[in-house]
Amino acid sequence: MAASHPLFWRLVSRALWTRRSRMLVMFLALWVGAVIICALGAIYLDIDAKMSRELRTFGANLYVGPQAGRVLDEPSWQALDQALPPASRLAAGGFVYGMARLQQESVMLMGANLESMADLAPYWQIQGERLAVSFDERHAMLGKKLAQRLELKPGDTVTLVKGSQRQDLVIKGIVESGDSTDYYLIVNLALAQRWLDSPHRLSHGLLSLDNQQGQVESIAARLQQQFPALEVRPIRKVSANEGAVLFKIQGLMGLICVVILLLSTLCVNTTLMALIGERAREFALQKALGASRQAILRQILAETLLVAAVAALAGLLGGALLAQLLGQTVFSSSIGLRWPVLPLTLGISLLVAALATVMPVRRALALEPARVLKGE
Amino acid sequence: MLGRLILQSWRRQHRRRLLAVITIFLAATLVSALLAVSLDIGDKMARELKSYGANILIEPASRSLLPQLLGESVTVSLANQDALDERELPNIKDIFWRNNIMGFAPELDGELIWQGQRLPVLGTFFDQPIAVPDEPDYHTGQRSISPYWQVQGAWPQDAQPQLLAGQALASRLHWQVGEQLTLAGPAGSHAFTLVGLLHSGGKEDEQLLLPLAFAQQLLGRPQQVDRVRVSALTVPENSLSRKAREDMDALSAEEYDLWYCTAYVSSIAHQLEDALSGSAVRPIWQVAASEGVVIQKIQLLLAVVTLVALLAAAMGIASLMTSNLLERAKEIGLMKALGAELWQIGLLFYAEAALCGLLGGLLGCLAGSGCAWLIGQSLFGTPLAFNLIVVPVVVLLSMVIALLGTWFPARQIARLYPVEVLHGR
Amino acid sequence: MSLVIETRQLSKHFGKVTALDGINLQIRQGEFVAIMGASGSGKSTLMNLLTCMDTLSDGQLLLGGVDASSFDEDQRRRFRADRMGLVFQQFHLIPYLSALENVMLAQHYHSVVDEAAARAVLAQVGLEHRMDHLPRQLSGGEQQRVCIARALVNAPEILFADEPTGNLDEQNEQLVLGLLQQLHRAGHTIVMVTHNPELGAMADRVIRLQHGHLVQEEVAYAPVVA
C-alpha cells in the first residue's frame, strides 16, 4: 500500500511545501467555501426560530375571555397561564375595561398588565414614554384620539373622580395604535380593578405564543377543553398568517442558501481544477517514471484532502463567527449552531475537493505522457 | 498584435480561459440573482404580509363613536352621526399611490331584529365590482383584504340577499348554513339566505355580515358608510415618515415631496384623507408597523447574505485569476526577455481579465435573472422583477474583481527578473 | 572593428557565493564567440549579465560602447529589445501562438509588426511550410529554428544563444549549427554558451570559464572580417 510508504508522505508534504503559494490559494478557496456553507447552514437552520420571533411584533395571537354570561377571574386566568407549555409562552396579560369619570368627562378605562404590553402590542406608536412597570399607580397612558379630544399631552395630569375619591395620574405617553385603544385611558390592571370595583375580575386576557409550527390552534383547542368555562380562541388574523409567512421566509432562505451553496462550491471547484490541472506535466512525469494511475491519484488526493480538511475545520470556526456576526447584525441575537452544520460543512468541503482533484488528474493521466512532457 | 495575442490564447487554450469565464459566470449569476431578489423582496414580502389584513382605517372625522371591545358584547350607539359617502369610495383608487391600494372594504354597523332578538350586523363589500378609471374589472371587498377569514360554506354574493354569520353568533342561535332568515330594521325587512359561517377570531365572530346595499336599505342609511378598511402596499417607516407624522409643517419642501412620493403608510393615509371628504384616516399600526419591522428584517437579512455571497464570489474569482496567472509566469518571463514593456504585458493580462469579467458577468446576469425568476415563481407564484440596474453593477463588479485578482500576482511576477522565471526559480 | 561587448572586472555574487569573479572580456563586431565551461562554472550567469537579464554585482559592462552597468530596468529592456536576439535552450515559445505569431510577437515588442518580414525570416531558417503550426506541432529542431527566427527578426547587433542545441538530436543540432554559421558568415555577432567542445570548435574564439574565473581565451579560426 503506497499510502503507508514513508516516501508517499514525503512526496505529499514536499508538494505542499514547495508549492505553498498555490496551496495557500487552494486553502483560501476551500476555506471561504467552508465558511459560507457553515454560516449559511447555521442561519438556515435557525431562521424559523428567528423570524417567528420577529413575527411576534404582530402582537398577541391567543384570546381568552369568559363564556357568555360568565366572568373571567384572576385565579382561573392564572390557572390557564400555568397550564401553558412554558416553552411556547412568550407573554401574557389580562385586561379589564370599564367607564370612569375624569374631571372633564367620562372615558373608557383600560386596565392592563403594562409590563407585558411591550410584547403583546409592540406595534403601539408611543409619543412620550412607555409605561412598563406593573406597580406604577401614579402614571397613565392615553389613547391618541382621547388625548386629542381632551387636548392633553405627555406630562399633563388627569384626575379620576369617583364620588369623593380622587386619583391624580400623570400622562406618561400617548398611544397610537389605529384601533380602539386610541380611545382609552390606559392604567395598570390593579388600579383599574380597584377603581372599577371589580377586584380579581378580567374582561379578557391576551397571550403571545410561539407559533413556529402553527401550534397556537392546537394549544387553543386543548385549553378550551381544559377550561370549559372560558372562551379560548386564536386571534386568527395574527396566528393564521404566521405559519404562511414563516414558510415563505424559510423557503426563500432555503432557496437562496441552495443557490449560494451550489455556485460557491462550483467556484471553489473551478479554482481547484485550475490549480491541479496546472500540474499535468508533473503527473505525466510520474507516469513516465512508472507510477500507476492509482498511486498518482492517491498522492494528489491525499494532498488536496489534507488541505481541504484543514480548510473545512478553519471554515467551521470562521463560519460560526460569521453566523454570529450576521445574527447580531440582522436579529440582534446570536445564531444557534446546530449539529447538522458540522457534517454538512466537512462533507461538502471534502467532496468538492475530491471531485476537483479527480477530474483534472484523470484528464491529465489520460493523455500520453510524452505529449504532456513535450509541453502541450 | 494585442488583439491577436488575446484571440489566439482564447482560441487555442480555451479550456483554461473557459474555466475563468465559468467561475466568473457562476459568481455573477449568484450575485445578480441575489441582488435582484433583495431589490424586489420588500415588494414581494409586503404582498405576502397583506394576509394580515387592512393596514389603514378611514373613519368620519367627527366620529365620537365609543370603541368596540374585542370580545365584549358590541355596543354601538346608533345615534345618527356623520358618515362617509359611499359614492366617494372610487376616489380611493384615484390617489397618487392608487396602484399600491391592494383593496378596501367599507363597513356599516347597525342592529337588525331577528325573531325579536337584536343582532349586531355589519354591512360590507364581499367582492364588489367598482368602477375605477384604469381598471375596468376592478373588484374588491373583504375577500381580498381579510384573507385570514375562514369561511365555512360560501362567501355571499354582493348583489344577492345572502348572509355570512360569525361562528360564535351562529352556534349560539343554532343556525346552519342554508337557513332562511328574515331581518327587520328601522326601514323595512328582507328575507336572506345564510350561505356561510365565518371564523375570524375577531369581533366579526359575533356579527352577522350582509352586503352593504342591503344593510343601508334596512337601516335606512342610504349611501352611508361608517368606516373603510384599506389594504395598501407600503414601505417601512423611517425617520422621515416619523417626522412627518409628528408635525407635517416641520418638513421642508423637499422633505415633504420625498415623503409624499414615497409609499409610507402615513403618506398614503394623508392622500386618502384628501380624497374622501370629512374623513380621518389612520394607519392600523398592528399591521402597518409590524409589516415594516418584518420587511426590514428580511431586507436586511438578504442584504447581508448578498454581501457575504459577494465577498465569497470575489474571493473565488480572485483566487482563480491568481492561479491562472501563476500558471503563465513563464510566458511573462519570456515577454520580458523579448523586451516587452511592463505596460504591454500588463495590458495583455488585464485585457484578458477584463474580457473574462465582461463575458462572465454578462452571461451571469442572464443566468441570474433566470435564478431570480425561479425563486420568485417557486416562492411567490409571480416572477421577481429583475431590476436592470443589476446588470451594469454585476458586470462592472466582475471586471473589477477579475482585474484585482490579476493585479496582485501580476505585480509580484513583474518584479521578478525574466531569468528567474524562465529558469523556473 | 568596434567592440560590441566589453566587460571590466565583471563580478556577480549570489549571497556569499561568487558566481563570476573579475571577468575581463571583449567581443568585437562580427565575431562568433563561444563561452564554455563545466556546469556551475558561471557561464549561464555571464550570459544573463551580458543579455541584461540580471544585474551585476561589481565591475563594468559596456554594450556598444555604452556603460550598461548602471542601466535601469527600462533601459536594459529597451537595449534587449532593440539590439539583441535571444535563443534559449528550452525554446520558450508561447504555446498558443503559431510559429509566425511567435516571431511577430518579438516584432511587436521591438517596434511594429511586419508580417512579410516575419515570413521572410522564417523562410530563411527553412520553415516556410511550418509557419502556421503551433509549437507543439513542431519538432524540437523546428522549434529551435522558430526561436532563432524570432531572435533574428529585429536585425539585432548581437545574437545570444544559450545551449542552442542542448535539447536537440544530432541531425537537428547540425541544422541549427549550420544556420548559426550561415548567420555568422552574413556578419552577425554571435555569443553562444555551450559545454559541448564540438560546438565550441565552430566559434572564432572560445572563452573558458572555471569557477567563475576566465581561464583561457583561444582563437580557433582566423577571425572573419565583416
Pick from A234, A267, A302: which residue ends a domain?
A: A234
In terms of C-beta density within 10 A (0-12 exposed, 13-18 middle, 19 or more buried), how is residue C128 classed?
exposed
* Chains contacting C (3 or more CB pairs within 8 Å): A, B
pLDDT confidence bin for B79, thresholds 50/70/90: very low
Are C97 and B5 an interchain contact pair (Cβ–Cβ within 8 Å)?
yes
Do A201 and A321 reside in the same domain of the chain? no
A70 shares its domain with A213: yes
For residues A268 and A210, state if they share a domain: no
Domain match, A230 and A248 both:
no
Nearest by CB: B379 against A183, A248, A274 = A248
Residue A288 falls inside a structural domain: yes
Would an 8 Å CB–CB cutoff place C77 in contact with chain B? yes
Please check whether residue C141 touches A, CB under 8 A: no
Please tell me if residue C72 touches chain B, with a CB cutoff of 8 Å. Answer: no
Q: B-chain residues within 8 Å CB-CB of A244? A: 48, 51
Average pLDDT, chain B: 83
Rounded average pLDDT over C119-125: 90
Sign, Cα dihedral of A100, A102, A106, A108: negative
Identify the pLDDT of residue A4: 55
Beta-carbon separation of C81 and B339 below 8 A = yes
Domain holding A174, by residue range, is: 61-234
Q: Is the pLDDT of residue B123 over 90?
A: yes
Residue C83, chain B, CB below 8 Å: the answer is no
Q: In this structure, are A282 and A321 located in the same domain?
A: yes
Residue-level pLDDT at B423: 60
Q: Looking at the complex, does the CB of residue C135 fall below 8 Å from at least one CB of chain A? A: yes
Tell me which chain A residue has its CA closest to the CA of residue C143.
A374
Domain of residue C86: give its range. Answer: 30-55+72-219
The Cα–Cα gap between B307 and C109 comes to 43
Supply the pLDDT for residue A252: 83
pLDDT confidence of residue B197: 92
Q: Phi and psi dihedrals of A69, rounded to 5? A: 85, -5
Q: How confident is the model at residue B72 (pLDDT cuts 50, 70, 90)?
A: very low
pLDDT in tens, A73-110: 888 898 888 888 888 888 889 998 888 888 878 888 89
Q: Is C136 on the interface with A (CB under 8 A)?
A: yes
Q: With contacts defined as CB-CB under 8 Å, which chain C residues touch B11?
A: 96
A371 and C135 in contact by Cβ < 8 A?
A: no
CA angle B107, B109, B110 (to 5 degrees): 150
Q: Is the pLDDT of residue C222 over 50?
A: no
Written as nine digits, the cell of A256 is 437562496
| B327 in contact with C, Cβ within 8 Å | no
Residue at which a domain ends, from A202, A234, A266: A234
Which chain B residues have a beta carbon less than 8 Å from that of A176?
282, 285
Instruction: Note the pLDDT of residue B31.
Output: 87
Asked whether residue A1 is assigned to any structural domain, the reply reads no
Q: Are residues A161 and A277 in the same domain?
A: no
Q: Give me the helices (H) in C43-98, please.
A: 43-50, 73-83
Rounded CA-CA distance B209/B158 in Å is 11
Same domain, A76 and A103: yes
**How many Å lie between the alpha carbon of C192 and the closest alpha carbon of chain A?**
24
**Whole-model pTM above 0.80?**
no
The predicted structure's pLDDT at residue A376: 43
Q: Are residues A36 and A94 in the same domain?
A: no
Looking at the structure of chain C, the number of domains it has is 1
With contacts defined as CB-CB under 8 Å, which chain C residues touch B414?
Answer: none
Distance from CA of C75 to the nearest CA of B (A): 10
Q: Using H for helix, E for strand and C for coil, what is the string for chain A?
A: CHHHCHHHHHHHHHHHHHCHHHHHHHHHHHHHHHHHHHHHHHHHHHHHHHHHHHHHHHCCCEEEEECCCCCEEHHHHHHHHHHCCCCCEEEEEEEEEEEEEECCCEEEEEEECHHHHHHHCCCCEEEECCCCCCCCCCEEEEEHHHHHHHCCCCCCEEEEEECCEEEEEEEEEEEECCCHHHHEEEEEHHHHHHHCCCCCEECEEEEEECCCCCCHHHHHHHHHHHCCCEEEEECHHHHHHHHHHHHHHHHHHHHHHHHHHHHHHHHHHHHHHHHHHCCHHHHHHHHHCCCCHHHHHHHHHHHHHHHHHHHHHHHHHHHHHHHHHHHHHHHCCCCCCCCCHHHHHHHHHHHHHHHHHHHHHHHHHHCCHHHHHCCC
Instruction: Give the model's pLDDT for residue B65.
Output: 47
Position B275 confidence tier, pLDDT thresholds 50, 70, 90: confident
| Cβ-proximal residues to A76 (8 Å cutoff; 6+ apart), any chain | A227, A229, A230
The whole-angstrom separation of Cα A111 and Cα A143 is: 13
User: What value does the mean pLDDT of chain C take?
Assistant: 84
**How many CB atoms neighbour CB C67 within 10 A?**
12
**pLDDT at residue B67 in the model:** 46
In DSSP terms, C67 is beta-bridged to: C62
Is residue A295 one of the residues assigned to a domain? yes
Residue C15 contacts A, CB cutoff 8 Å: no
Angle at A348 between CA A342 and CA A352, to 5 degrees: 150
- Say whether B30 and A273 touch across the interface (CB within 8 A): no
Mean pLDDT of B283-305: 84
Domain assignment present for residue A79? The answer is yes
Residues in a beta bridge with C20: C12
A370 contacts chain C (CB < 8 A): no
pLDDT of amino acid B305: 85
The answer to whether A66 and A233 are in contact (CB under 8 A) is no
C-alpha distance from B417 to closest chain C C-alpha (Å): 6
CB-based contact B422 C95, cutoff 8 Å: no
Query: Is residue C101, in this structure, part of any structural domain at all?
Result: yes
B384: cell is 421577481
Q: Can you tell me which residue has the cell 420587511?
A: B295
* Chain C touched by A368 (CB under 8 Å): no
Cβ pairs bridging B and C (under 8 Å): 72
Name the strand (E) or helix (H) holding C60: strand C58-63
Q: How many CB atoms lie within 10 A of CB B114?
A: 17
Looking at residues A151-159, what average pLDDT do you find? 89
Segment C47-106, tens digit of pLDDT: 888 888 878 888 888 888 888 887 887 788 788 888 888 888 888 888 888 899 888 888
For the cut 80, the answer to whether the pLDDT of residue C177 exceeds it is yes
Q: What is the CATH number of the domain that holds C198?
A: 3.40.50.300
A205 and A319 in a single domain? The answer is no
Number of neighbouring beta carbons within 10 Å of residue B394: 29
Digit-coded pLDDT (tens) for A22-69: 788 888 888 888 888 888 888 888 888 888 888 888 888 888 888 877
Contact with chain B for residue C114, Cβ under 8 A: no
Residue A11 clears pLDDT 60, i.e. is over it: yes
Q: How far apart are CA A77 and CA A205, in angstroms?
A: 8
Q: What are the residues facing A112 on neighbouring strands?
A: A95, A188
Choose between A369 and B378: higher pLDDT. B378
For residue C121, tell me if it sits in a domain. Answer: yes
Residue C134 lies in a domain: yes
Residue C109 contacts B where some CB pair is shorter than 8 Å: yes
Chain A positions touching B29 (Cβ under 8 A) are: 263
The subunits that touch chain B, with at least 3 C-beta pairs less than 8 Å apart, are A, C
pLDDT at position B18: 83
- A29 falls within a domain: yes
- For A299-352, the pLDDT digits (tens) are 888 888 888 999 999 999 999 998 898 888 888 888 877 888 889 889 988 988
Over range B89-115, report the average pLDDT. Answer: 88
> Does A239 fall in a domain?
no
Among candidate residues A203, A234, A265, the one where a domain is terminated: A234
The Cα A88–Cα A304 span in angstroms is 47
